[in-house]
Amino acid sequence: MERARSIIGRYPEKRSAVMPLLYLAQHEEGRLTDDGMRLVAELTDLTAAQVQAVATFYTMYKRDDVGRYLVSVCTSISCMLLGGEDVLAAIEDESGVPDGETGDDGLVSVEHVECIGACGGAPAVQVNYELVEGVTPENGRKLCRWLLDGRPRVVTGDEMQELFGGQRSFDWGPAERDGAVGPVPAFGPYGTAEEV
Amino acid sequence: MKILTERMEAHRTDSHTLARYRDTGGYESLRKALFEMTPEAVHEEVKASNIRGRGGAGFPTGVKWGFLGKAEPRYLVVNADESEPGTFKDRQLLERDPHQLLEGMIISAYALGVDLAFVYIRGEYPRPARRVQRAVDEAYEAGLLGPDVMGSGFGLDVVVHLGAGAYICGEETALLNSLEGKRGEPRIKPPFPAVEGLYAKPTIVNNVETLSNVPWMIRHGGAAYDAIGPEGSKGTRLFSLSGHVERPGNYEIEMGLTWREFIYDIGGGIPGGREIKTWIPGGASAPWLLPEHLDEPVTIDDAGRLDTMLGSGAVVVMDETTNVVHAALSIVRFFSHESCGQCTPCREGTTWMQRILERILAGEGRQMDLDLLLDISDNISPGLRWPPAMTTICPLGPSAVSPITSIMRHFRDEVEAMIPGVAAGV
Amino acid sequence: MSERVTITVDGEEREVPAGELLIKAAQDTGTYIPRFCWHPRMKPVGMCRMCLVEVEGPRGRQLTTSCTMPVSDGMVVHTESDVVTKAQEGVLEFLLINHPLDCPVCDRGGECPLQDQTMSYGPGESRFVEEKRHFEKPIPISDLVMLDRERCILCARCTRFSEEISGDPLIEFKERGNGTQVLTFPGEPFASYFSGNTVQICPVGALTATPYRFRARPWDLEAVESTCPHCSVGCRISVQASQNQVLRFLGVDNGPTNQSWLCDKGRFGFEYLNSDERLGTPLVRGDDGELHEASWGEALDAAAAALSAVVDAHGADAVAGIGGARSTNEEAYLFGKLLRSRIGTPHLDAQLDDGLDPRFLAGVEPRATIDDLERAAAVLVWAPDLKEELPVLYLRVRRAAQELGAKLVVVHPRATGLDDVAGHVVRYRAGHGADVLRRLAAGEGDLADARAALGEGPVVAIVGRTGLTEDPALAEAVAAFARDLPDAALMPATRRSNVYGALDMGLSPALLPGRASAYDDGARAALAEHWGELPGGAGRDTAGIVDGLRQGVLKAVVLLGADPARDVPDGSGGAALEAAETVVAIDLFRTASVEQADVVLPALGFSEVEGTVTNLEGRVQKVNRLLPGTGQSRAAWEILEDLARRLGGSLGATSAEAIAKEIEAVAPAYGGISWDRLDWGDGREGVVAPAGEGSQPLGFVPVAGDLGTPPDGTTLHLARTLYDHGTVVRRGPSLAKLAPEPALFVHPDDAGPLGVEEGVTAWISGGSGRAELPVRFDRSLAPGTVYLPFNLGVTVGTDPAVTVAAAEGAA
């Protein structure tokens, strides 16, 4: 609640806090529930229907059950040209989770996504929005196993890139310590990032 | 000539830190602006640079600033919602040199009379967002942000805001709606954001790369910037090269070189010695170019002459093995997925085209589908000309038309070959 | 807007108002541009793209939406070029590819803009062979509205209405792109008082009204334009019927009043007219004490005989009349004429002791029109919760504050519908208004800002009793304060139907027809010229009549569409009728009061008679006849005329229009307001009385009187909700279920001291009653105040001082 109030305080108008608060609600509950949307509505003086209108517009708010690891495989043009669809198929096969679904154990969700800005490192994959570039189908499988067997608490792009990545869009520079602990982008001010 | 990427190339481990930034001349432009220049003088330098916006539309930045309304408060919003397929340049600027952007923002805010600025970063970019937030935190600590920047009396606050998965929010009015906590639906223009933007107040929305150029301009003068590159395509430009090329990546280049030089000399050509079939010169929205255009110069105006654009600076190369229907489908599907849904032709038309392409790809196309695709396109973008006319509110719908016209004009035989009856010569 | 510019539409020069939207300018000068999303009363969004036209510019002809393009001088527009035609056909095709085309089973079929435009502009057959979008077929999104998302063309009219106009955005877009749909939030239905408007403005059959679904096809409907009978705003409506049954009301766009909108009570409140419980035969109480059917002759004879007997035995002033507020002006006028000139009694009242001084309501000066809100710099609302009692006036105030920038000050004992758009919300403890008024007038302390907001005119002050425990003198004192605000105009607010018309017709001991004072000798003499001698002595109002009946001073009462047994707020009406020797009731239903009558005369109701009504701004409008009515029911004026003939002579009424002509001649403020003018002349938006300069004899200047001392302890706020147990709501199946359960609302901070909790049962004991009710918490209440909704079957009287305690064994 304190975090919510501090987020609201960042903006000249309360309503602007809707999107960050939706992330916060999703982070708290693992997905965006009706109760979560209702709470955001209360905090921003909107109706729940108005909050729902916003939440459902953006693809990163997940209203259905979503796994601890959300694996997003890019299939937009550059990744598609370099085999993104094969990477997706490999990940679906290895995880046993079809595109758009979540495994029974609640560990992994798999989705294909539109461009995630990693075209120079195609094909690209994100796990909880942490990026790994230059992924081959084979490395996609290894990434799945790493998630399913190793169950890392915090996921960072740098670690995955080291383990499963290839061609990068550009030199990333030094590694980041902050990472994601669930299917919400890891960002300090929203309270969604944790150190490895 | 490197303006944007010099520091990050020279200092791979710490180009994003305040210490390194200052150590390499950072925030000296800000000092110069605050203590030696009036806001109007800063604006004049930006105007003199003749820089055109790097987000895709290519509108002269200095002119845009000139439209800013006088009402208060005013806002500056950085468009870091980079989402156009093929584009990943801003990500590098955000991650590797966030202070360069921040300094550009502070200088611009000073010029524009803004005391609150936002950086709207796409939600899929948490790493860039963290780097920018850390830079903002450092800047506050160092007195570069806050109520009294560098003791000048000028104050600025910066809020980093994450999007949540919607390409359309790269359209500036959709971005403002999103920042207001609404659905990211583009607004009807006019009024333009410079007059009625965020919270209906005068607002300037500039791209990351555009603002990242500002510190250099202030240090060296707008005229120095204007001296770089050919007429109408001033300054350096960060191009994103991807697809079937040997060396994909971001390249900061002076415009005016040829496509052949860019794709083959800089990009290393096509892997495996294969032939180039076509390429997209400026992001997924742009009509495609052909091998016969390889010796055309890479400039904004030359691209326009060829009925396409440099757009967001994303070059996607396709080699001879590419199934163009598959490629077009990928792009049309992207725009259908990203259509906000408010206006009819885009909401219905992009999805309809996607489904027809899917049918053709699945071997269930009909001869009439080819003309139908073109006619649906025509109902989104009447006349199928460039720059596109629109029956829509924003250019997203017409963007989905580009791959259709590209394959129909240049590869119609390949498409027809996928229609069962036609393939069999029936 | 008076500046005009010249534009060229399809080669033809037109003069149009500068800055007007092209789509409207074109339409007003003869060129209809097709559209779905644009609505003249809402902001343009340019979403559907149907209204694309070509406008010539420096870069050649540009396609643009005419709904978002303001005209400018010299603009050259093409609405029928090949490019435009192709674009519009394209849009229509896009809209149709996912439309189910189930017109034969769609309520909208026959009056559907999508269907009509497909016929006019659309392609012959579909090129779309893919599977259409599918959604669950119509789902109820409220008790009154069904949503079919497959038919929806996503024009956002409904979502914009609820956000922009009514301020309750419970219906919204969901998802995006091709998956976009309109929907409510789970568990939060579209429970808006204004939901029916979205059905009316839906350009397809996506939103349908439960009360109308599958009831008729548009081509089977007969229609007549009329004025909504439900409250004193007087919204313009189209009454539509088939086979002698009213099937729906639609809003008609009357600029000065409803601007096309209706509240749901108005829109769906017609069902009572079709009720099986309507009286169809006169009734006379027999020797067995029961009401028995009788012929008109028998019933009228019985009524006349009973009244004559009272007059003979006790004098004419032992008779009284209550009612007329639900009648037409013509009926009300004749009622007054019967009582005063034939029976000869001064005791008559159209109010039920729930309003304000009749002279204030009828004659306050300067008086505001609703349309003054369009120009107001500031608006003061110290009145009933407009959303509950005068819903469309609420919409107009909302618009003034939200769209037009008026500074709004709302003063009320608890939250009102306007609070979210008000710049200043002042809450006060019920019964303690006098002190708030004093502090507001002085701009003291926390009220300084509110006072400052009222410092710039024009100011419109909407003034009435916030609730039924409030001293009417407070409203007058508020009016006295507001009158001195810059460029101020006053709107006295009380809700009941045609009460302003009835008062204008003299149905008050203080008033004569045409806003003349009953205490003015000149006015009395002038009226006597037409009516003959008028009764002298002080007349009694409803409270006085009830009192007189109970004390046996009065012996008989004639009721005209009035139900004092239920509606007199302190609950004393039933006992009064019980005490009366004779009760003659003219009504549509066997109300609680009718059950106590000796003679019951069934009257025709709304849409069954023609006449005029007068709204709260004094606007006179027509109501029109479409239906024959139930059984042997007769027009009230005919009943009154026949009764008069049996009581000493005809009232000279030969038709409703003849009465209207007499009103014109007799009632000074109504001079020149003829039916012809209202139907065919310059009066189609209604004519605000007084119609001529200097024709209003009564100029009432409110004064701040002695407001007494506020009560100690817990005080009661007693106020109406839109849906209650009144005749209209109770006898309409669609609305009846919407009336809330009675409850006692308590501020959580008061709960402890009172010893009650949310959900428990509490006793409330008031001036004339005691009731046991569940407690609900209401944080918006001023401390020390409890709130009880009126007319939900629970009465504790109208004294502000009450005691509240937990019921035994409750806590």
B288-334 pLDDT, tens digit per residue, is 999 999 999 999 999 999 999 999 999 999 999 999 999 999 999 99
Residues B172-220 have pLDDT tens digits of 999 999 999 999 999 999 999 999 999 999 999 999 999 999 999 999 9
C183–A52 CB contact, under 8 Å: yes
pLDDT for res C572? 93
pLDDT greater than 70 at residue B423: no
Cβ proximity of C273 and C299 under 8 Å: no
pLDDT for res C200? 98
B355–C130 CB contact, under 8 Å: yes
pLDDT for res C811? 43
Answer left, alpha or beta for residue C167, where phi above 0 means left and psi between -120 and 50 means alpha: left
DSSP C592-654: TTGGG-SEEEEB--TTTS-EEEE-TT-EEEEE------STT-B-HHHHHHHHHHTTTS-----
Nearest CB to C176 within list B340, B392, B393: B340
Whole-number Å distance between alpha carbons of C266 and C261: 10
Give the minimum alpha-carbon distance from A104 to chain B in angstroms, rounded to a whole number. 26
Nearest CB to A52 within list C168, C174, C176: C174
Nearest CB to A48 within list C173, C175, C185: C185
Give the minimum alpha-carbon distance from B179 to chain C in angstroms, rounded to a whole number. 17
Residues B166-175 have pLDDT tens digits of 999 999 999 9
Residue written as token pair 């008076």: C2
Cβ proximity of B374 and B404 under 8 Å: yes
pLDDT along chain C (811 residues), means of 10: 90 97 98 97 97 95 97 97 96 95 92 90 80 94 97 98 97 98 97 98 97 91 97 98 95 98 97 94 97 98 98 97 98 98 97 94 96 98 98 98 98 97 97 96 96 97 97 96 98 97 98 95 95 93 98 98 94 96 97 97 97 98 96 97 95 97 95 95 95 81 91 95 91 93 96 94 92 96 95 91 84 43
pLDDT for res C371? 97
CB within 8 Å of C682: residues ≥ 6 apart: none
Whole-number Å distance between alpha carbons of A3 and A13: 17
Residue written as token pair 């839906």: C202
**Strand C459-463, strand C488-492: pairing:** parallel
Cβ proximity of C66 and C53 under 8 Å: yes
pLDDT for res B57? 87
Q: Which residues of chain C have a CB within 8 Å of the CB of B340?
A: 176-177
CB within 8 Å of A156: residues ≥ 6 apart: A130, A175, A176, A177, A178, A179, A180, A196
Residues B344-356 have pLDDT tens digits of 999 999 999 999 9
- Cα angle value C564/C471/C364 (rounded, 5°): 90
Cβ proximity of C801 and C431 under 8 Å: yes
Q: Could you tell me if B22 lies within 8 Å of chain A, comparing CB atoms?
A: no
C87–B339 CB contact, under 8 Å: no
Q: Which residues of chain B have a CB within 8 Å of the CB of C49?
A: 343-345, 391-393
In sequence order, what are the beta bridge partners of C364?
Answer: C700
pLDDT greater than 70 at residue B426: no
CB half-sphere exposure, C592, CA atoms < 13 A:
19
SS3 C189: coil
Q: What is the mean pLDDT of residues B54-78?
A: 96
B199–A172 CB contact, under 8 Å: no
The encoded tokens of residue B403 equal 């791959």
Length of chain B: 426
Whole-number Å distance between alpha carbons of B101 and B92: 11
Count of CB atoms within 10 A of residue B275's CB?
A: 9
In sequence order, what are the beta bridge partners of C357?
Answer: none
CB within 8 Å of C288: residues ≥ 6 apart: none
Q: Is the dihedral of CA C687, C688, C692, C696 positive or negative?
A: positive
Q: Could you tell me if B187 lies within 8 Å of chain A, comparing CB atoms?
A: no
Percent of chain B beyond pLDDT 70?
Answer: 99
Cβ proximity of B167 and B125 under 8 Å: no
**Eight-state DSSP code of residue A146:** I
Q: Could you tell me if C286 lies within 8 Å of chain B, comparing CB atoms?
A: no
pLDDT for res C727? 83
Whole-number Å distance between alpha carbons of C420 and C724: 24
Residues B358-374 have pLDDT tens digits of 999 999 999 999 999 99
Residues A144-183 have pLDDT tens digits of 999 999 999 999 999 999 999 999 999 999 999 999 999 9
Q: Could you tell me if C128 lies within 8 Å of chain B, comparing CB atoms?
A: yes
Give the minimum alpha-carbon distance from A53 to chain C in angstroms, rounded to a whole number. 5
Dihedrals phi, psi of B241, to nearest 5 degrees: -110, 130
Q: Rounded to two decimals, what is the model's pTM?
A: 0.96
Nearest CB to C52 within list B337, B376, B391: B391
What ipTM was predicted for this assembly?
0.98
Cβ proximity of C10 and C78 under 8 Å: yes
Nearest CB to C172 within list A34, A38, A49: A49
What mean pLDDT value characterizes chain B? 97
Whole-number Å distance between alpha carbons of B341 and B351: 10
Q: Could you tell me if B99 lies within 8 Å of chain A, comparing CB atoms?
A: no
pLDDT for res C809? 59
- Cα angle value C329/C331/C336 (rounded, 5°): 90
Q: Could you tell me if B103 lies within 8 Å of chain C, comparing CB atoms?
A: no
Q: What is the mean pLDDT of residues B59-88?
A: 97
Cβ proximity of B241 and B315 under 8 Å: yes
pLDDT greater than 90 at residue B1: no
Q: Which residues of chain C have a CB within 8 Å of the CB of A38?
A: 185
pLDDT for res C692? 74
pLDDT for res C108? 94
Q: Could you tell me if C84 lies within 8 Å of chain B, comparing CB atoms?
A: no
pLDDT for res C612? 98
pLDDT for res B424? 55
Q: Is the dihedral of CA C759, C763, C766, C770 positive or negative?
A: positive
What mean pLDDT value characterizes chain A? 97
